[in-house]
Structure 1
Amino acid sequence: MVKKKVPDWLNSSLWSSSSPSSPPSSAVASPFEQPPPPPPRPPSPAVVTPSEPPPRPPSPPAVHDPLPTQRIDDSPREDHGDGFRSAHDVSRQAQLLAELSKKVVDMSELRSLACQGIPDAAGIRSTAWKLLLGYLPPDRGLWSAELAKKRSQYKQFKEEIFMNPDTEIIDQIDRDVKRTHPDMHFFSGDSQFAKSNQEALKNILIIFAKLNPGVQYVQGMNEILAPLFYVLKNDPDEENAASAEADAFFCFVELLSGFRDNFVQQLDNSVVGIRSTITRLSQLLREHDEELWRHLEVTSKVNPQFYAFRWITLLLTQEFNFADSLHIWDTLLSDPDGPQETLLRVCCAMLVLVRKRLLAGDFTSNLKLLQNYPTTNISHLLYVANKFRVQSV
C-alpha cells in the first residue's frame, strides 16, 4: 500500500503556536486545570477507559463580564499586532451588524461571516446564534411576534411541569449544574447572580427532560446548555437578557436535535449512535492522515472512544477555555448541513495538529495528551478543519 503523503501545510510550525488573542487565565480559566467531568455515559463494560492523570489545582475564578474580543480567521495570518486584529474584528463586526439589520437576513451571508468567529460585542452573537439555530426566522418583521409566542409557551411549560416535578431527575440535574464551570462567577459562587443562573439552567434541563421522555436528561447536557445560556444572558438588550431562560431552552432544543442520538443509550450500537459517530471520526482521520491513524489505532492501540466520546458528546466544551469554545461554536452553528459534520472535522484537525507528538508517543502518553488537549491557536484549528471540508468535496 502506498502511504498517503501528508500535505506540507500540516507540518508547518504555525500549527503548534498559541493563539495570541487567547484571554489570560485570570479572565477565563482553562478546563485543563480542572478535573475533567465524567462523560455523560460511561463506555460499555467491554471497553475499559484508563484512568486519567491527576487534576491540576483550579485557577482563580473568572468574572462574568462578556468575554474579550478574539480574532478568529479562516486562514493563518501573520500577526501584525493588536491594531490589525482590532481592525479585522471591527470590519467583521460592521458586516455582521449590517446583515442583522436587514429586513430579511441573508442566511448564507450570515453563515459565511459567522463561521469566521463572531466578535463579542453589541449582542451580535446572541442574535446570530438564534438565527443560526432556527429559533428566529430570517424576516425581522416576524421576530417580535415569534419571541412573544415562544416565551409565553415556555412560561406555560414551566407552570405545568413544576406542578408535578420528578424528584430523582431534579436531584441529578442539581448536582450537575452545581459543577458547571466552577471557575466562572457567572455559573458558580454564592452571589445571587450565580444562583439565579444556576436556577435557570436547572429549569431548562428539567423541562427538557419531561418533554423528551425518550431522551430525558443525560449527564453532560448541562455543559452544552451553559454556552447558550451565557451568550443569551449577556445580550445587552435588557428584554432579551431577561428572557434568556426561555430563549436558551428553545435554542437548546434546536441544537440537541442534531445530536440527540448520541445521548440515547439504546442507540449506542446503531448507525446513528455515538459509536457510529466515533467510527466516522476514525474514518475521517484515516482519509486525511493514514500514517497518524495507523499509529494511533493499530500501533499504540488508542481506541478513539477513550478521548472522542467526551469531545463529541460535549461539543468540545471541556477541551478548550470558555472563550475559545464560543468561537468554535460560531463555526459549528454556521454549517448549513448541521453542526455534526463540522464537529467531526474539528476533532480530526485536533488530532492532526498534534501529529508529531502523537507519532512519537506510546499508548500512555498519547492518551494523556488527547484527554488533556494542549492550548492551541483556534484560528489555525478551524483553518485545518475547513481544509478537510474542501478536500472532501
Structure 2
Amino acid sequence: MGELRRLASQGIPDGAGIRATVWKLLLGYLPADRALWPSELTKKRSQYKNFKEELLMNPSEITRRLEKSTLENQELDGGSQGLLSRSEISHEEHPLSLGKSSIWNQFFQGTEIMEQIDRDVMRTHPDIHFFSGDSSFAKSNQEALKNILIVFAKLNPGIRYVQGMNEILAPLFYVFKNDPNEENAAFAEADAFFCFVELLSGFRDNFVQQLDNSVVGIRATITRLSHLLKEHDEELWRHLEMTTKVNPQFYAFRWITLLLTQEFNFADSLVIWDTLLSDPDGPQETLLRICCAMLVIVRRRLLAGDFTSNLKLLQNYPSTNISHLLYVANKLRVHSGG
C-alpha cells in the first residue's frame, strides 16, 4: 500500500478505471488482498440496498405494509372483514402524532433535510452534463446523489446533512460511475456511499457546528493553516493578517470544508484529490499544505495588494499549474519534516 500511495500522490491516469479502483483502496473500501474484493463488494452493496429500503421509505408505505401484514395474519387466523379497527392503528403510526418516536414526526423532520439536499444537488456542477440538465442520465445521477446524502443524514443524526456535502460526494460518484467496468459502474451509488462516509470521517469535525470553536472544529483548522503560513513565509503572513487584515476565514473556510472542489476546474480537482487521498496520515495535513502552497504561489500579487484586491484574489483563485502547486505543497512537507 505504501508504494500505491506514493504513485497515487503523483496523479492517477484517467483511463481504464484505475482512479476508481485506487480511490477505493486508498479509502479502505477495498481490502489490500485482491482475493477478498468480490465478497467484500457483494456484502457492502447488499448492505447499502438494505439501508435504502429501510431509510428511504415513506411512512405511508410503512403503514401500508403494517396493514398488509396485519391482514395476512387475520386471514391466517380465520379472517375478519379485512378492515383495521381504529384501536389497531397505534398512536406512533398516526400522521397527526407529535411524539418524537412517531414515524411521521421523523418523516416531516427529514422532509426539510430532503428539500435542502434537493436544492443543493440541483446546483452541483451546473456546467457539467454528468450532473445537470434534462437528460435521463443526469437525472439518474442526481437521484443517486440525493439517495446517498439522505441515507447518510438518517444514519448520522449527530451531523445529518450540512450544505456543501454534495460537493464532496460529487467527485467520488463521478469517478465510480465512469468506471469502464459495467458492474462497478452499476453499483457506483453504493460504492460512493461507503467511500463518502470514510472520507467524511476524517473531516467530520468541520461539519459539526457545536465544534466550530473547539480545538478540533473548522476555526481551529483554519488557525493551523495560518500557523503553517507563518512558519514558511512570515513576511506574507504578516502582510495578509496584520497589514491588510485579511482574516483567513474569509477564504480558507470554503477551501477546507469543500476540499478545494470549488477553487479549480473539475478535472484538476480530481488530480488534487489523488494526492489528498494518498496521504497515509489522512487528507487533512496534505489539504493544509496545499492551501498554504496556494498562498505562496501568488505571494507577489498578495504582497502588492490591499484588503480588497487580496480578498478578491483568494475568493476567486486564479487558474494555476496543478503539478507545480502539488510540488510546492510537497516541499512544505519536506521543509516541516526537516
Residue 256 of structure 1 corresponds to 200
Number of residue pairs aligned between Structure 1 and Structure 2? 287
Aligned match of 1:142 in 8, 22, 36?
A: 36
Aligned match of 2:246 in 286, 302, 311?
A: 302
Question: Are 2:270 and 1:326 equivalent residues in the alignment?
Answer: yes
Residue 96 of structure 2 corresponds to none
Residue 79 of structure 2 corresponds to none
Question: Are 2:136 and 1:242 equivalent residues in the alignment?
Answer: no
Map residues 188-337 of structure 1 onto 2, 5 A cutoff.
188-337=132-281
Q: Cα deviations across residues 93-150 of structure 1 (Å, max 9, x unaligned)?
A: xxxxxxxxxxxxxx10100100000010000000000000000000000000000000
Alignment partners' CA distance in 1, 2:51 and 2:145: 15
Please report how far the alpha carbon of residue 162 of structure 1 lies from its aligned counterpart in structure 2 after TM superposition.
Answer: 1.1
Aligned match of 1:124 in 18, 42, 47?
A: 18
Alignment partners' CA distance in 1, 2:222 and 2:120: 25
Alignment partners' CA distance in 1, 2:239 and 2:129: 42
Q: Cα deviations across residues 147-204 of structure 1 (Å, max 9, x unaligned)?
A: 0000000000000001245211111100000000000000000000000000000000
Q: Cα deviations across residues 188-223 of structure 1 (Å, max 9, x unaligned)?
A: 000000000000000000000000011110000000
Q: Cα deviations across residues 316-352 of structure 1 (Å, max 9, x unaligned)?
A: 0000000000000000000001000000000000000
Alignment partners' CA distance in 2, 1:147 and 1:272: 33
Question: Are 2:242 and 1:348 equivalent residues in the alignment?
Answer: no
The structure that is helix-richer by fraction is 2
Please report how far the alpha carbon of residue 307 of structure 1 lies from its aligned counterpart in structure 2 after TM superposition.
Answer: 0.1
Alignment partners' CA distance in 1, 2:275 and 2:56: 36
Alignment partners' CA distance in 1, 2:289 and 2:233: 13
1:193 partner amino acid: F
Residue 9 of structure 2 corresponds to 115
Aligned match of 1:167 in 111, 118, 124?
A: 111
Residue 51 of structure 2 corresponds to 157
2:258 partner amino acid: L
Aligned match of 1:179 in 95, 115, 123?
A: 123
Residue 13 of structure 1 corresponds to none
2:265 partner amino acid: N
Residue 376 of structure 1 corresponds to 320
Alignment partners' CA distance in 1, 2:299 and 2:2: 34
Alignment partners' CA distance in 2, 1:197 and 1:162: 17
2:169 partner amino acid: L
Residue 77 of structure 2 corresponds to none
Alignment partners' CA distance in 2, 1:343 and 1:389: 11
Alignment partners' CA distance in 1, 2:219 and 2:188: 34
Query: Scaled by the length of structure 2, what TM-score is found?
Result: 0.85
Segments of structure 1 that go 5 or more residues without pairing to the other structure are: 1-106
Alignment partners' CA distance in 1, 2:16 and 2:6: 19
Alignment partners' CA distance in 1, 2:323 and 2:56: 44
1:335 partner amino acid: D
Q: Cα deviations across residues 273-310 of structure 1 (Å, max 9, x unaligned)?
A: 00000000000000000000000000000000000000
Alignment partners' CA distance in 2, 1:224 and 1:273: 18
Q: Cα deviations across residues 229-256 of structure 1 (Å, max 9, x unaligned)?
A: 0000000000000000000000000000
Alignment partners' CA distance in 1, 2:15 and 2:4: 16
Question: Are 2:305 and 1:361 equivalent residues in the alignment?
Answer: yes
The SS at the match of 2:216 is coil
Please list every run of at least 4 consecutive aligned residues from structure 1 whose deviation after the TM superposition is greater than 3 angstroms. none
Alignment partners' CA distance in 1, 2:113 and 2:214: 26
Q: Cα deviations across residues 33-66 of structure 1 (Å, max 9, x unaligned)?
A: xxxxxxxxxxxxxxxxxxxxxxxxxxxxxxxxxx
The SS at the match of 2:14 is coil
